[in-house]
Chains A and B, each alone.
Chain A
Amino acid sequence: MISHLEKRVGVVRFPGTNCDREVYGWAEAKKYQVDYLWYQDRFEIKSYDLVIIPGGFSFGDYLRSGALAARSPVMDSVRELAKSGREVLGICNGFQILCEAQLLPGVLVKNHTRRFIDKIVEVVVKNPRRDYSEKAGQKFNLPIAHGDGRFYAPPETLKSIHGEGLVWLQYEDCPNGSIDSIAGLFNKEKNIYGLMPHPERALYSWMNHSVVADGQFHLCGWDFI
Protein backbone atom coordinates (compact mmCIF):
# COMPACT_ATOMS: atom_id res chain seq x y z
CA MET A 1 0.00 0.00 0.00
CA ILE A 2 1.20 3.48 -0.87
CA SER A 3 1.77 5.68 2.13
CA HIS A 4 -0.16 8.94 2.36
CA LEU A 5 2.78 11.19 1.67
CA GLU A 6 3.72 9.36 -1.47
CA LYS A 7 0.29 9.30 -3.04
CA ARG A 8 -0.01 11.48 -6.12
CA VAL A 9 -3.51 12.49 -7.12
CA GLY A 10 -4.80 13.94 -10.39
CA VAL A 11 -8.13 15.77 -10.48
CA VAL A 12 -9.69 15.93 -13.95
CA ARG A 13 -11.42 19.14 -15.02
CA PHE A 14 -13.95 19.26 -17.84
CA PRO A 15 -15.93 22.33 -18.85
CA GLY A 16 -18.80 22.22 -16.38
CA THR A 17 -17.03 20.28 -13.65
CA ASN A 18 -17.93 21.96 -10.37
CA CYS A 19 -16.69 19.75 -7.54
CA ASP A 20 -13.02 19.92 -8.53
CA ARG A 21 -11.95 22.34 -5.81
CA GLU A 22 -13.57 20.31 -3.05
CA VAL A 23 -11.81 17.19 -4.26
CA TYR A 24 -8.53 19.08 -4.58
CA GLY A 25 -8.90 20.45 -1.05
CA TRP A 26 -9.72 17.03 0.23
CA ALA A 27 -6.55 15.48 -1.24
CA GLU A 28 -4.55 18.45 0.01
CA ALA A 29 -5.94 18.02 3.52
CA LYS A 30 -4.63 14.49 3.42
CA LYS A 31 -1.20 15.84 2.44
CA TYR A 32 -1.24 14.19 -0.96
CA GLN A 33 0.43 15.74 -3.94
CA VAL A 34 -2.40 17.04 -6.15
CA ASP A 35 -2.62 18.32 -9.70
CA TYR A 36 -5.47 19.37 -11.92
CA LEU A 37 -5.69 17.57 -15.24
CA TRP A 38 -7.22 19.41 -18.20
CA TYR A 39 -9.73 17.54 -20.34
CA GLN A 40 -8.06 18.40 -23.65
CA ASP A 41 -4.66 17.14 -22.59
CA ARG A 42 -3.27 13.66 -22.17
CA PHE A 43 -1.00 13.17 -19.17
CA GLU A 44 1.94 11.05 -18.08
CA ILE A 45 0.33 8.12 -16.32
CA LYS A 46 3.44 7.39 -14.27
CA SER A 47 2.95 10.69 -12.45
CA TYR A 48 -0.25 9.62 -10.69
CA ASP A 49 -1.38 6.85 -8.36
CA LEU A 50 -4.99 7.96 -8.29
CA VAL A 51 -7.05 9.99 -10.73
CA ILE A 52 -10.33 11.45 -9.56
CA ILE A 53 -13.10 12.54 -11.91
CA PRO A 54 -15.15 14.96 -9.82
CA GLY A 55 -18.82 15.82 -10.06
CA GLY A 56 -20.53 18.58 -11.96
CA PHE A 57 -22.23 18.92 -15.30
CA SER A 58 -19.49 18.20 -17.80
CA PHE A 59 -20.38 19.70 -21.19
CA GLY A 60 -23.68 20.82 -19.69
CA ASP A 61 -24.87 17.19 -19.66
CA TYR A 62 -25.53 17.60 -23.39
CA LEU A 63 -26.47 14.49 -25.36
CA ARG A 64 -26.34 12.26 -22.24
CA SER A 65 -24.72 12.98 -18.91
CA GLY A 66 -21.03 12.17 -19.22
CA ALA A 67 -21.25 11.18 -22.90
CA LEU A 68 -19.12 13.96 -24.33
CA ALA A 69 -16.64 13.98 -21.46
CA ALA A 70 -16.12 10.22 -21.82
CA ARG A 71 -14.81 10.83 -25.33
CA SER A 72 -12.35 13.61 -24.43
CA PRO A 73 -8.56 13.24 -24.89
CA VAL A 74 -7.89 13.07 -21.14
CA MET A 75 -9.93 9.88 -20.97
CA ASP A 76 -7.40 8.11 -23.22
CA SER A 77 -4.83 8.65 -20.49
CA VAL A 78 -7.31 7.67 -17.78
CA ARG A 79 -7.98 4.45 -19.64
CA GLU A 80 -4.26 3.80 -19.95
CA LEU A 81 -3.70 4.59 -16.27
CA ALA A 82 -6.48 2.20 -15.27
CA LYS A 83 -5.00 -0.50 -17.48
CA SER A 84 -1.70 -0.17 -15.63
CA GLY A 85 -3.52 -1.02 -12.40
CA ARG A 86 -3.55 2.47 -10.89
CA GLU A 87 -6.74 3.75 -9.31
CA VAL A 88 -9.53 5.80 -10.85
CA LEU A 89 -12.37 7.26 -8.82
CA GLY A 90 -15.48 8.88 -10.28
CA ILE A 91 -17.83 10.90 -8.13
CA CYS A 92 -21.36 11.69 -9.34
CA ASN A 93 -20.82 13.05 -12.87
CA GLY A 94 -17.47 11.26 -12.72
CA PHE A 95 -19.32 7.99 -12.19
CA GLN A 96 -21.53 8.77 -15.19
CA ILE A 97 -18.43 9.51 -17.26
CA LEU A 98 -16.78 6.22 -16.25
CA CYS A 99 -19.94 4.32 -17.22
CA GLU A 100 -20.16 6.16 -20.55
CA ALA A 101 -16.48 5.38 -21.17
CA GLN A 102 -17.33 1.73 -20.48
CA LEU A 103 -14.74 1.61 -17.73
CA LEU A 104 -17.57 0.64 -15.38
CA PRO A 105 -20.55 -1.53 -16.31
CA GLY A 106 -24.07 -0.13 -16.74
CA VAL A 107 -25.33 3.39 -17.17
CA LEU A 108 -26.96 6.14 -15.11
CA VAL A 109 -30.34 7.38 -16.32
CA LYS A 110 -32.92 9.90 -15.12
CA ASN A 111 -34.17 9.51 -11.56
CA HIS A 112 -37.51 7.71 -11.42
CA THR A 113 -38.94 10.73 -9.58
CA ARG A 114 -38.11 12.86 -12.69
CA ARG A 115 -36.56 15.37 -10.31
CA PHE A 116 -33.13 16.50 -9.28
CA ILE A 117 -32.56 15.15 -5.77
CA ASP A 118 -30.41 17.02 -3.30
CA LYS A 119 -30.32 15.57 0.21
CA ILE A 120 -28.35 13.48 2.67
CA VAL A 121 -28.82 9.75 2.37
CA GLU A 122 -27.53 6.73 4.20
CA VAL A 123 -25.30 4.40 2.21
CA VAL A 124 -23.94 1.06 3.30
CA VAL A 125 -20.67 -0.54 2.19
CA LYS A 126 -21.52 -3.79 0.46
CA ASN A 127 -18.02 -4.79 -0.66
CA PRO A 128 -15.09 -2.77 0.76
CA ARG A 129 -12.13 -1.76 -1.38
CA ARG A 130 -8.69 -3.23 -0.83
CA ASP A 131 -6.23 -1.04 1.11
CA TYR A 132 -8.92 1.24 2.52
CA SER A 133 -10.32 1.55 6.00
CA GLU A 134 -13.98 0.91 5.15
CA LYS A 135 -15.59 -2.34 6.25
CA ALA A 136 -18.49 -4.32 4.82
CA GLY A 137 -21.74 -3.27 6.45
CA GLN A 138 -20.36 0.11 7.54
CA LYS A 139 -22.80 2.97 7.06
CA PHE A 140 -22.17 6.57 6.07
CA ASN A 141 -24.43 9.56 5.73
CA LEU A 142 -23.47 11.27 2.51
CA PRO A 143 -24.97 14.09 0.44
CA ILE A 144 -26.38 13.30 -2.98
CA ALA A 145 -27.15 15.88 -5.67
CA HIS A 146 -28.12 14.46 -9.03
CA GLY A 147 -30.79 14.35 -11.71
CA ASP A 148 -29.46 11.29 -13.52
CA GLY A 149 -28.55 8.92 -10.72
CA ARG A 150 -30.65 5.86 -11.41
CA PHE A 151 -28.25 3.03 -12.09
CA TYR A 152 -29.34 0.65 -14.81
CA ALA A 153 -27.68 -2.44 -16.22
CA PRO A 154 -29.19 -5.18 -18.37
CA PRO A 155 -30.05 -8.41 -16.47
CA GLU A 156 -26.99 -10.40 -17.61
CA THR A 157 -24.61 -7.54 -16.67
CA LEU A 158 -26.35 -7.19 -13.34
CA LYS A 159 -25.91 -10.89 -12.69
CA SER A 160 -22.16 -10.63 -13.25
CA ILE A 161 -22.00 -7.46 -11.12
CA HIS A 162 -23.47 -9.36 -8.19
CA GLY A 163 -21.65 -12.60 -8.99
CA GLU A 164 -18.26 -10.96 -8.91
CA GLY A 165 -19.02 -8.75 -5.91
CA LEU A 166 -18.70 -5.48 -7.82
CA VAL A 167 -21.30 -3.57 -5.80
CA TRP A 168 -19.38 -1.13 -3.63
CA LEU A 169 -22.14 0.96 -2.02
CA GLN A 170 -25.89 0.65 -1.73
CA TYR A 171 -28.53 3.13 -0.59
CA GLU A 172 -30.36 2.18 2.57
CA ASP A 173 -33.49 3.86 1.27
CA CYS A 174 -33.10 4.22 -2.48
CA PRO A 175 -33.93 7.82 -3.48
CA ASN A 176 -33.63 7.57 -7.27
CA GLY A 177 -34.88 4.16 -8.41
CA SER A 178 -31.41 2.63 -8.89
CA ILE A 179 -31.55 -1.04 -9.72
CA ASP A 180 -30.81 -3.03 -6.51
CA SER A 181 -30.24 0.33 -4.76
CA ILE A 182 -26.75 0.55 -6.25
CA ALA A 183 -24.94 3.75 -5.25
CA GLY A 184 -21.36 2.79 -6.07
CA LEU A 185 -19.58 0.21 -8.19
CA PHE A 186 -16.17 -1.33 -9.04
CA ASN A 187 -14.80 -2.73 -12.24
CA LYS A 188 -13.69 -6.38 -12.29
CA GLU A 189 -10.09 -5.55 -11.40
CA LYS A 190 -11.39 -3.36 -8.55
CA ASN A 191 -9.11 -0.44 -9.37
CA ILE A 192 -11.81 1.73 -10.97
CA TYR A 193 -14.70 2.80 -8.79
CA GLY A 194 -17.52 5.26 -9.02
CA LEU A 195 -20.24 6.48 -6.71
CA MET A 196 -23.17 8.87 -6.93
CA PRO A 197 -22.98 10.42 -3.41
CA HIS A 198 -20.50 13.24 -2.75
CA PRO A 199 -18.07 12.22 0.02
CA GLU A 200 -16.02 15.37 -0.66
CA ARG A 201 -19.00 17.36 0.59
CA ALA A 202 -18.82 15.48 3.89
CA LEU A 203 -15.20 16.29 4.53
CA TYR A 204 -15.62 18.36 7.67
CA SER A 205 -18.21 18.16 10.39
CA TRP A 206 -19.66 21.56 9.49
CA MET A 207 -20.50 20.12 6.11
CA ASN A 208 -23.39 18.36 7.81
CA HIS A 209 -22.42 14.74 7.87
CA SER A 210 -23.00 12.69 10.92
CA VAL A 211 -19.82 10.66 11.34
CA VAL A 212 -18.00 12.94 13.75
CA ALA A 213 -19.61 14.29 16.86
CA ASP A 214 -17.25 16.81 18.44
CA GLY A 215 -17.78 19.62 15.92
CA GLN A 216 -14.06 20.08 15.26
CA PHE A 217 -12.58 20.50 11.81
CA HIS A 218 -11.25 17.14 10.81
CA LEU A 219 -11.60 14.53 8.15
CA CYS A 220 -14.82 12.58 7.97
CA GLY A 221 -14.96 9.12 9.50
CA TRP A 222 -14.53 7.58 6.10
CA ASP A 223 -10.87 7.66 5.13
CA PHE A 224 -11.92 7.95 1.58
CA ILE A 225 -8.86 8.40 -0.61
Chain B
Amino acid sequence: MKTITKTLMGIKILPRDVILDVQGRAIEKQIREMSEFAETQQIQLRVGKYIEMEVQASPEISMKLGQEIAQKILINPLIEKFEIECIDKSQSPLHLEQKGGHQSLERPHSDISIYGEKNMMPEDFSVSKGN
Protein backbone atom coordinates (compact mmCIF):
# COMPACT_ATOMS: atom_id res chain seq x y z
CA MET B 1 0.00 0.00 0.00
CA LYS B 2 1.23 3.46 -0.87
CA THR B 3 1.44 5.87 2.02
CA ILE B 4 0.67 9.52 1.45
CA THR B 5 3.46 11.85 2.48
CA LYS B 6 2.25 15.00 4.12
CA THR B 7 4.41 17.87 5.18
CA LEU B 8 3.33 20.45 7.70
CA MET B 9 4.98 23.84 7.44
CA GLY B 10 4.87 26.91 9.58
CA ILE B 11 5.37 30.34 8.05
CA LYS B 12 6.32 33.10 10.45
CA ILE B 13 5.61 36.60 9.15
CA LEU B 14 6.87 39.69 10.93
CA PRO B 15 6.63 43.37 9.99
CA ARG B 16 9.95 44.83 8.88
CA ASP B 17 11.73 47.06 11.38
CA VAL B 18 11.13 50.19 9.31
CA ILE B 19 7.38 49.71 9.62
CA LEU B 20 5.67 51.14 12.67
CA ASP B 21 4.04 48.08 14.20
CA VAL B 22 0.90 49.66 15.61
CA GLN B 23 -0.47 46.45 17.11
CA GLY B 24 2.83 45.82 18.87
CA ARG B 25 2.88 49.35 20.30
CA ALA B 26 -0.68 49.02 21.60
CA ILE B 27 0.07 45.72 23.31
CA GLU B 28 3.32 47.07 24.79
CA LYS B 29 1.44 50.01 26.24
CA GLN B 30 -1.20 47.75 27.75
CA ILE B 31 1.43 45.48 29.32
CA ARG B 32 3.14 48.49 30.90
CA GLU B 33 -0.17 49.67 32.30
CA MET B 34 -1.00 46.31 33.88
CA SER B 35 -0.01 46.56 37.53
CA GLU B 36 1.67 43.13 37.66
CA PHE B 37 4.15 44.23 35.06
CA ALA B 38 4.56 47.82 36.20
CA GLU B 39 8.34 47.43 36.55
CA THR B 40 8.68 46.07 33.04
CA GLN B 41 9.34 49.33 31.28
CA GLN B 42 11.78 48.01 28.76
CA ILE B 43 9.56 45.59 26.94
CA GLN B 44 9.46 45.58 23.18
CA LEU B 45 7.39 43.29 21.01
CA ARG B 46 6.41 42.96 17.42
CA VAL B 47 3.23 41.34 16.20
CA GLY B 48 3.15 39.19 13.12
CA LYS B 49 1.30 36.23 11.72
CA TYR B 50 1.83 32.52 11.84
CA ILE B 51 0.46 30.46 9.01
CA GLU B 52 0.29 26.68 9.03
CA MET B 53 0.21 24.95 5.71
CA GLU B 54 -0.02 21.25 4.98
CA VAL B 55 1.02 19.90 1.61
CA GLN B 56 0.73 16.39 0.27
CA ALA B 57 4.32 16.12 -0.84
CA SER B 58 7.77 15.39 0.43
CA PRO B 59 9.41 17.94 2.75
CA GLU B 60 11.78 19.13 -0.02
CA ILE B 61 9.04 19.81 -2.57
CA SER B 62 6.75 21.26 0.09
CA MET B 63 9.35 23.68 1.39
CA LYS B 64 10.09 24.89 -2.13
CA LEU B 65 6.38 25.36 -2.78
CA GLY B 66 5.98 27.07 0.59
CA GLN B 67 8.73 29.55 -0.27
CA GLU B 68 7.09 30.34 -3.58
CA ILE B 69 3.61 30.78 -2.10
CA ALA B 70 4.96 32.96 0.70
CA GLN B 71 6.73 35.25 -1.74
CA LYS B 72 3.85 35.41 -4.21
CA ILE B 73 0.97 36.05 -1.85
CA LEU B 74 1.52 35.54 1.87
CA ILE B 75 3.89 38.46 2.36
CA ASN B 76 4.40 41.89 0.90
CA PRO B 77 8.20 42.20 0.77
CA LEU B 78 8.02 45.99 1.21
CA ILE B 79 6.68 45.66 4.73
CA GLU B 80 7.13 42.06 5.84
CA LYS B 81 9.73 39.36 6.20
CA PHE B 82 9.15 35.67 6.68
CA GLU B 83 10.69 32.46 7.89
CA ILE B 84 9.51 29.03 6.93
CA GLU B 85 9.92 25.89 8.99
CA CYS B 86 9.03 22.25 8.74
CA ILE B 87 6.91 21.14 11.68
CA ASP B 88 7.20 17.76 13.32
CA LYS B 89 3.60 17.26 14.42
CA SER B 90 4.47 15.08 17.39
CA GLN B 91 6.72 17.81 18.83
CA SER B 92 4.71 20.92 18.05
CA PRO B 93 2.99 22.51 21.07
CA LEU B 94 0.24 23.70 18.75
CA HIS B 95 -0.71 20.10 18.16
CA LEU B 96 -0.69 18.91 21.78
CA GLU B 97 -4.44 19.31 21.98
CA GLN B 98 -4.84 16.57 19.42
CA LYS B 99 -3.02 14.20 21.74
CA GLY B 100 -3.69 15.27 25.26
CA GLY B 101 -6.77 17.42 25.57
CA HIS B 102 -6.87 21.14 26.09
CA GLN B 103 -4.51 21.52 29.02
CA SER B 104 -2.17 23.86 27.27
CA LEU B 105 -5.00 26.19 26.36
CA GLU B 106 -6.33 26.60 29.89
CA ARG B 107 -6.10 30.01 31.41
CA PRO B 108 -3.43 30.05 34.15
CA HIS B 109 -5.53 32.17 36.54
CA SER B 110 -8.90 30.56 36.10
CA ASP B 111 -10.16 32.13 39.36
CA ILE B 112 -9.92 35.57 37.85
CA SER B 113 -12.80 35.48 35.45
CA ILE B 114 -12.34 38.63 33.46
CA TYR B 115 -14.94 37.65 30.94
CA GLY B 116 -15.80 34.47 32.78
CA GLU B 117 -17.96 31.78 31.28
CA LYS B 118 -20.57 32.03 34.03
CA ASN B 119 -21.29 35.71 33.62
CA MET B 120 -20.58 36.76 30.11
CA MET B 121 -19.93 40.32 31.24
CA PRO B 122 -18.92 41.53 34.70
CA GLU B 123 -21.54 43.76 36.28
CA ASP B 124 -19.50 46.93 35.87
CA PHE B 125 -19.47 46.51 32.13
CA SER B 126 -23.07 45.47 31.67
CA VAL B 127 -24.97 47.59 29.20
CA SER B 128 -27.53 49.91 30.79
CA LYS B 129 -30.96 49.10 29.49
CA GLY B 130 -32.54 52.47 30.04
CA ASN B 131 -31.60 54.02 26.74
A residues with a Cβ closer than 8 A to B are 63-64, 67-68, 71, 100, 106-107, 109-112, 114, 152-154, 177
Contacts and interface: CB of A to CB of B under 8 A. Distances in A.
B40 interface: no
Interface of B: 18-20, 22-23, 25-26, 72-74, 76, 78-79
B26 A114 contact: yes
Given A71-B72, A109-B20, A110-B22, 4 more contacts: A100-B76, A112-B22, A114-B22, A177-B20
Given A114-B26, A152-B19, A64 B76 contact: yes
B23 to A, nearest CB: 8
A216 to B, nearest CB: 38
A111 B21 CA distance: 10
A68 B78 CA distance: 16
* Majority DSSP secondary structure for residues of A touching B: loop
Contacts of A68: 73
Nearest to A115: B22
Nearest to B49: A63
A166 to B, nearest CB: 16
Contacts, number: 33
A153 B76 contact: no
B79 A107 contact: yes
Nearest to A177: B20
Q: Which of B25, B26, B79 has the most CB of A within 10 A?
A: B79
Q: Which of B19, B20, B23 has the most CB of A within 10 A?
A: B20
13 contacts: A63-B74, A67-B73, A71-B72, A100-B76, A106-B78, A109-B19, A109-B20, A110-B20, A112-B20, A114-B25, A114-B26, A154-B18, A154-B78
Contacts of B22: 110-112, 114
A164 B72 CA distance: 28
Contacts of A107: 76, 78-79
Q: Give the 5 A-B CB pairs with smallest separation, nearest first.
A: A114-B22, A110-B22, A107-B78, A107-B79, A107-B76
B78 A153 contact: yes
A179 to B, nearest CB: 11
A183 B50 CA distance: 31
A106 B25 CA distance: 23
A152 to B, nearest CB: 7
A109 B73 CA distance: 16
B82 to A, nearest CB: 13
A106 B26 CA distance: 25
Nearest to B18: A154
A152 B25 contact: no
